[in-house]
Structure 1
Amino acid sequence: MSQDLGTPVTSAPPRGAAPPARTPKKKTKTGLSALAAKRIAVLSALVAGVAYGWGIGGNAAHYAYAAAVRSMSANWHNFLYGAYDPAGFMSVDKAPGALWLQALSVRVFGYETWALLLPGVIAGAVSVYVLFVLVRRWAGHAPAALAAVLLAATPITIAGTRVNLPDSTLILTLLVATYAFWRALEKASPRWLLLTAALVGVGFHIKLAMALAILPVLGIVYLVAAPASPGRRVLHLLGAGAVTAAVSSIWMLIVGLTPAGSRPYMDGSTSNSVWQMVWSYNLFDRADAAKAGKSAELPVLPDGKVTPVDQGGDTGVFRLFNDLIGGQISWLLPLAVLLVVVGLVAAGRAPRTDKARAGWLLWGGWLVLFAGALSFSQSIHPYYTSILAPAIAAIAAAGLHLAWTDRRFAWALPVGLLATGAWAFVLMSRSSDYVPWLRPVVAIAAVAAAVLVLVRRTGKFAVVTGAVAGVALLAGPVAWAAPTFQTPTDPRTAMFQNFNPLAGPNPNALSTGIDLTKLMAGGPKPGAAGGQAMPLPPPIMFQMMPSDADPKLLGFLKANKRGERFDLATVGGTGASPYIRAGLSVMPMGGFVGTMPMPTADGLADAVHSGQLRYVLFGGFAYDSPTALARKDWVVRNCVRIPPPAYTANPWMGFTSALFDCKPGA
């Protein structure tokens, strides 16, 4: 018989002892039955799935991932190597694990936006229930149900899952790995621990080193709390480490052992090395302030300022509370910090194998480790912070339950509720024009709940107390999540939301601190005397990062195709993406950011002379490098520029881009 999942585990049972009988109707001190808790969790997962998937057919998918998925779904060679373009010229600049799922979905359902987003939506909804199962084994029914609700209501989780990003898939993988770890911890089971290790290795194929970041936490908790001798604990961890290393290396070994001419060039690498792409480009360079974005000349915005590299604000301990990220993830972060301390104190001098303390160490370690990495990494998107959501939800739920049921820590309820209400008031004040009536409601609810938990925490009135506390905890996050359900009608907003999704009332605000509404204030009209202002023109930034292929250029390229391998060569992922998504074979020169030495100027010349390429388009949002400048110089000297009216009806595209014919008269 299995152990009662509704009762928190505090220590390993004696060998040979019968496990306690399962009693689904048994009440906790909160009066919530196991069946009711399970129903709440299932409902939370279903609501989350609806929120993640609402209107996804009209959503804009991440431009680069959508292009890569189209290419990867074309054939199994592109699928295996994560090709960015249909010809398999360049790979994506990350591991393709999450894109594999999207490509499979596209192969089954066709190249539709909803098919791209479907795997992530499913992963996000399942994550809610998996967290419930995890917290139930550790802390009981009631906190498990609350944790599911809190995770489902996290604003950035909703915003990020509504785009085809890898994060929801990674979170599900790590949660399942954590479940396997908890099973390993309960009885020092090497089989469960090896499964944990393998799942973390799978996570590496989804988001590289971010998946491995959980390993120190798992290792420490196992060393501290597993019911086995020190020697066995160390041996178990060594074996698990070997499995993680082996599973993590599978794709890299396949790529590394394939001749360079038989696979795409590894984007993110200056030497076509998958190892450099994985470890240098995606890990060490991001952590190094001297290298993050400094290896290339940065694009310049219309106001003359250099584009900021860091999209998460200044690094430091307060980054997660800043104007950009605060409203995405930090609503319950002060509460979680308080309650993890309370939980560890409550564990006191319990036996080494005490599972209550192990749970606080596990979730507290998850929170501290990922929060530290996100606070000090040199280049992050706000949606990266969704990795914090499971830990915040688990800690807040278990901590509130502990304070509710243990009078020694009852003081943490009013303190936590008041702190949460005060922080919510600050966050909502940053967008004071958005539902302004909600701020006083949350403030009053926090104060009322703080009083009620001290005087009316039991009996029938406990339901009212819980409801008021729920308003204080959830009203702000739910209000910030609400705008994500609306499909942006403005193409500029949709464009930025698809690669840098944000929750809250002003998704126009870029992570660079730029408000698109300000960029639309006007600009120099191409060809106008004296720089005459054009009322509400499409901003230069929009033309640098086109969300859709220019229809006239598409027709021009199709009409002039003469059997070339590439319909077009253009700069970087932003320039290539619209045309790959439209079905063209495009050479993304320089890879995603445009700086990689592929092709070189000589390689570009060879492609032209061998009949593989005719047209080259410059423009788009990309960085410069010596190789990029050499490519541009070769094209300008050897190709003929086509007058913009011949390939576009958009004067701004003609102003910000240039199309060259490298084989005129062909």
Structure 2
Amino acid sequence: MTLVAADPAAEVETATPAASGPVHTKPDLAGPVAQRIALAVLLVGTALLYLWNLSSSGWANAFYSAAAQAGAENWTAMLFGSSDAGNAITVDKTPAALWVIDISVRLFGLSSWSVLVPQALMGVGAVAVLYAAVRRAAGPWSGLLAGAVLALTPVAALIFRFNNPDALLVLLLVTAAYCVQRGIEKDASRWWFVAGGAAVGFGFLAKMLQAFLVLPAFAGAALIAGDRPLGRRVLDVVTAGAAMVLSGGWYLVLVELWPGSARPYIGGSQNDSIVELALGYNGLGRLTGDETGGLGNLNFDVGPGRLFGSQMGAHIAWLLPAALICLAAGLYLTRRAARTDPTRAALILWGGWLLVTAVVFSFMNGIVHPYYTVALAPALGAVIGIGATLLWQHRADIRAATAMSGAVLVTAILAAVLLARNDDPYPWLRAAVGVIGVGAAVLLLVVARLDRPMVRATVALAIAACLAGPAAYSIATAAGPHNGAIPSVGPSRGGGFGGLFGAPEPGPTLTATLAADADRYRWAAAVVGSSNAAGYQLATRAPVMAVGGFNGTDPAPTLQEFQQLVDDGAIHFFIRSHIMAGGFGGHTPSGSQAATEIAEWVQAHYNPITVDDATIYDLTQRATNT
């Protein structure tokens, strides 16, 4: 089967023997100039969506903003991803995503823009690379559709305007997929596999084992469709794996060999080990829920419906059924193609990415947040772009027409359900999507018999029915501020979770008190929990120790170590938090109770001081009755 790029309104392509090539009727205006203009519109529109009103989110996830502040001030903090410039403890991830923000803050100073603009630019880059990858497999209009789906997926509009590590992870994985596609092609250099493996390895340094969810799809596509003998295909996969291990593994070796006394404690681990962090808290523990130092299994929606449920549905579900229809139809339509057919190879790669990641997210029992689903968005876009083009090229076949009609209809129904679920700010949109979707679905059944103006109208109606819902939610997401550790799509409801996960905003008197003489101490203050510490650190611009790390459950520092630091005059104040590693949402986390011991010791030996409704303890002034 020979496939070429087609204008969405072009006549049906007729498959012919490879020697004679495809035969077309009159081509539509889909030349290179129109394609370049459309690509420019896509990328500029994506940039506007992701950059518009960006600073409204302030520090977004203050946990990572504070770490970027520390990394911009201290090279050791930057190398290890420390939460503070005093290098008490790291964030609970490898720090590649922070390195990007650290550089921005070093160049432009600490601000909401310097923290968040790199994320937006990574989003534009991901859309551009996805377009390039899908274009090679199915033509420029397929690439444009794929890029538009990615750009308008609500969780993408959220994460590419936020400073969690997922933005860099997505960009790197899309880049890796592009490299694997290039490596599969005829007469391609093996260096494409090296580059792809290196991109996945660096993705590991952004978000650890989540980067590896794409590996079955990448390896499967290379082994099945690579344009080389089997032995060389195996060698290609091995070469990519070696590049991945080297590009990600060097950092683990560096941290493990670095003296623990000369670097911050590895946050998220119980034994100051980055290998433990990778395999436990950020590894298998995410699948099983058995995470020492974590919050245990708090998930009650495990199962095949999770991606469509109340937590994740609005983030990613809009086009999932359509993607599955396009994937199945695309594989069927290319069933007789040559083993090395690039279109089928791309379907295997992107479809495998989509299926494996969706299954893992649906059934994992450990910590999982709705915004993780941004990892599905590129594969979702690619599968729809490729599959929809294949179906359109075969629209004279009633089976293809029925598949297209069904995809549009189920997408419109799902959009109406999702819009109605969360206090829909656009009640008129539900009705419009339903009416347009039904009309487009009916027209698609007979589209091969329609004249050119009606064909174009049908295409426009189908695209509007499928993208109106996610586009509206993406715009609503971009329109308001989002902050906290666990942001959500749609109209802002005040950001993420509070308490241990929400950064406090200290009053002016407390800020001035903490900042006074801060340069005389290694840490201006200490408080339980990294997000708590981040709020005070960003306000004072002085290092604040996060006792117990992100969840307050890491054994860093121990009570004895904290007491020694106090005796050495390294910490000025201790700030009382209403969450002292005692639980979250009524659940008692596993891990160390060192933070609780430290808090109790401070309260027993130092006098409380109330400043701006906060309770602090001056650790240089021990109570006289102790």
Query: What TM-score, normalized by structure 1, do the two folds share?
Result: 0.84
Residue equivalent to 2:194? 194
Identify if the C-alpha distance between structure 1 residues 600 and 149 changes in structure 2 by more than 3 Å, giving closer, same or farther: same
Map of 2:354 onto structure 1: 367
Residue 552 of structure 1, CA deviation: 1.7
- Pairwise mapping of residues 224-243 of structure 1 onto structure 2 (< 5 A)? 224-243=224-243
Structure 1 segment 601-620 matched on structure 2, within 5 A: 601-619=559-577
**Which residue pairs with 2:11 in the alignment?**
none
In structure 1, the partner of 2:88 is: 89
Q: Residues of 2 paired with 1:250 and 1:332: CA distance?
A: 38
Give 2:376's aligned residue: 388
Q: Do the aligned partners of residues 178 and 621 (structure 1) sit closer, same or farther apart at CA in structure 2, a change above 3 Å counting?
A: farther
In structure 1, what residue type is equivalent to 2:336? R
Distance in 1 (alpha carbons) for counterparts of 2:150 and 2:229: 36
Give yes or no for the alignment of 1:402 onto 2:401.
no
Following superposition, the deviation at residue 321 of structure 1 comes to 0.1
Task: Give the alignment partner of residue 555 of structure 2, picking from 584, 597, 602.
Answer: 597
Deviations 1:525-581 (A, max 9, x none): xxxxxxxxxxxxxxxx56983442332222223346582222111101121001211
Contact 2:61–2:485 (8 Å) recurs in 1: yes
Does the alignment pair 1:131 with 2:124? Answer: no
The reply on whether 1:318 has 2:305 as its aligned counterpart is yes
What's 1:73 paired with?
72
**Residues 231 and 614 of structure 1: CA distance in aligned 2, closer, same or farther (over 3 Å):** same
Cα distance, 1:439 vs. partner? 1.1
Deviations along 1:320-378, one digit per CA (max 9) or x if unpaired, are 00012111111110011111011111112322222222111111101001111211222
SS of the residue corresponding to residue 333 of structure 1 reads helix
Q: Would the alpha carbon gap of residues 192 and 558 (structure 1) be closer, same or farther in structure 2, given more than 3 Å must change?
A: closer
User: Which of 477, 486, 489 pairs up with 1:500?
Assistant: 486
**Contact 1:575-1:620 at 8 Å conserved across structures:** no
Match of 2:13 in 1: none
Q: Which residue of 2 aligns with 1:441?
A: 432
Q: Percent identity?
A: 34
Indicate if the aligned counterparts of 1:83 and 1:89 stay in contact, CA closer than 8 A: yes
Shift of 1:508: 5.0
Please give the secondary structure, in 1, of the residue aligned with 2:489: coil
In the alignment, residue 465 of structure 2 is paired with which amino acid?
A
Residue deviations 1:242-294, cap 9 Å, x none?
Answer: 12111111211221121111111111111111111222111122112243776
1:479-521 Cα offsets, whole Å, 9 max, x none, are 1122223234xxxxx5xx343222224635968xxxxxxxxxx
Partner of 1:305: none
Structure 1's 216 and 455: CA in aligned 2 closer, same or farther, altered over 3 A?
A: closer
Q: Which one of the candidate residues 469, 474, 484 is aligned to 1:476?
A: 469
Q: Is the 8 A contact 1:197 1:244 kept in 2?
A: yes
Tell me, in whole angstroms, the C-alpha distance in 1 between the residues paired with 2:26 and 2:329: 20
Letter in 1 for 2:93: K
Preserved contact between residue 440 and residue 461 of structure 2 (Cα < 8 Å): yes
Whole-angstrom CA distance in 1 between matches of 2:78 and 2:496: 32
Q: 1:184-223 alignment to 2 at 5 Å? A: 184-187=183-186, 189-223=189-223
* Structure 1 residues 30 and 571: CA distance shift in structure 2, 3 A: farther
- Asked if the contact 2:500–2:551 (Cα under 8 Å) also holds between the matched residues in 1, the reply is no
What secondary structure, in the 3-state scheme, does the structure 1 residue paired with 2:527 have? Answer: strand
Distance change in 2, residues 1:432/1:629 (3 Å):
closer
Distance 1:28 1:231 in 2: 44
| Residue 461 of structure 1, CA deviation | 2.1
What letter is aligned with 2:276?
Q
Q: Where does structure 1 lack aligned partners over 5 or more consecutive residues?
A: 9-13, 21-25, 297-307, 489-493, 512-540
C-alpha change, 1:219 and 1:660, in structure 2 (3 Å) is same
C-alpha distance in structure 2 between counterparts of 1:622 and 1:40, whole Å: 54
Q: What one-letter code is carried by the residue in structure 1 that aligns with 2:502? A: M
Classify the secondary structure of the residue corresponding to 1:437.
helix
User: Whole-Å Cα distance in 2 between the matches of residues 426 and 590 of structure 1?
Assistant: 42
Per-residue deviation, 1:590: 0.8
Distance 1:426 1:370 in 2: 24
Question: Which digits, 9 at most, give the CA deviation of each residue in 1:37-65, with x for residues without a partner?
Answer: 33222211111111111112232221100
Letter in 2 for 1:659: I
CA distance in 2, matches of 1:372, 1:135: 23
| Residue 53 (structure 2) aligns with | 55
> Contact between 1:163 and 1:498, CA under 8 Å: does it hold in 2?
no
> Which of residues 415, 419, 426 in structure 2 aligns to 1:424?
415
Report what 2:14 is aligned to. Answer: none
Moved more, 585-594 or 349-358: 349-358
Which residue of the partner structure matches residue 302 of structure 1?
none
Residue type of the alignment partner of 1:229? P
Distance in 2 between the 1:444 and 1:418 partners? 10
Further displaced range: 87-96 or 393-402: 393-402
Q: How far apart are 1:663 and its partner, in Å?
A: 2.8
Deviates more, 1:198-207 or 1:31-40: 31-40
Q: Distance in 1 between matches of 2:495 and 2:600?
A: 36
User: For the aligned residues, what is the CA RMSD?
Assistant: 2.7
Quote the Cα distance in structure 1 between the aligned partners of 2:25 and 2:138.
Answer: 14
* Offset, 1:29: 6.6
Structure-2 separation of matches of 1:159 and 1:240: 31
Q: 1:420 to 1:323 in 2, by over 3 A?
A: same
* Aligned AA (2:62): Y
Residue 514 of structure 1 corresponds to none
User: Structure 1, residues 49-107: CA drift from partner, whole Å, max 9, x if none?
Assistant: 11111112232221100000000000222211111111112111101101101010011
Give, in whole Å, the separation in 1 of the partners of 2:294 and 2:382.
38
Is 1:355 matched up with 2:322?
A: no
The structural deviation recorded for 1:446 is 0.8
Q: Quote the residue 2:603 is aligned against.
A: 636
Residue pair 1:617, 1:660 contacting (<8 A) in 2 also: yes
Cα 1:433/1:228, change in 2 over 3 Å: closer
Amino acid at match of 2:148: V
Residues 419-451 of structure 1 show CA distances to partners (whole Å, capped at 9, x for unaligned) of: 111111111221355211111111110111112
Residues 1:346 and 2:310 aligned together: no
Q: How many pairs does the alignment contain?
A: 592
Q: Is the 8 A contact 2:49 2:475 kept in 1?
A: no
